[in-house]
């Protein structure tokens, strides 16, 4: 009776799935550290010509959807949040997965105004 040639492939597949699972858990643990780094300003570059629309296209669409109408995260188009609530969420992040400090402090108001203008 010979060896079953599929067993090594099944072992490699199982190890790969396990590795992906544990790496995703590790990434979730890093959310607080990433947010803390952004609060310190270490990773956020100040941009002289900040453009909220371009920033949203580059950073927000991956979670909020291509038209910012919702995806893995709530819709930004037609949000019922106030300007103060939006600013707080953008600055501090949420427990649900959005890291804080993505938008430079000086550009928060422009980003909030952009989100509130979306229809």
Q: Which tokens in the block code for residue 104?
A: 């430079």
| % of the chain with per-residue pLDDT over 70 | 81
Given this model, what pLDDT does residue 66 score? 86
Q: How many domains does the chain have?
A: 1
2 lies in some domain: no
DSSP 48: T
Asked whether residue 1 is assigned to any structural domain, the reply reads no
In order, the DSSP letters of 59-85 are: IIHHHH-TTSS-SSS---TT----HHH
Dihedral through CA 100, CA 104, CA 110, CA 116, nearest 10? -10
Is residue 43 situated within a structural domain? yes
Q: Tell me, what's the pLDDT at 37?
A: 66
Residues in contact with 64: Cβ distance below 8 Å, sequence separation at least 6, in sequence order: 56, 70, 71, 72, 73, 74, 75, 76
pLDDT greater than 80 at residue 22: yes
Please check the confidence at residue 16 and state whether its pLDDT lies above 90: yes
Question: Which residues constitute the domain of residue 92?
Answer: 7-117
> What CATH number corresponds to the domain at position 14?
1.10.760.10
Global pTM reads 0.59
């Amino acid at each position: 009776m010979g060896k079953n040639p599929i067993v090594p492939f099944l072992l490699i597949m199982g190890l790969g799935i396990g590795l992906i699972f544990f790496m995703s858990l590790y990434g979730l643990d890093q959310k607080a550290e990433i947010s803390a780094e952004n609060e310190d300003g270490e990773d956020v570059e100040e941009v002289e010509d900040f453009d909220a629309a371009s920033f949203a296209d580059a950073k927000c669409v991956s979670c909020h959807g291509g038209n910012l109408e919702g995806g893995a995260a709530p819709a930004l188009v037609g949000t019922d949040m106030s300007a103060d609530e939006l600013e707080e969420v953008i600055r501090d992040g949420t427990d649900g997965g959005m890291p804080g400090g993505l938008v430079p402090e000086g550009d928060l108001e422009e980003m909030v105004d952009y989100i509130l203008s979306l229809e």
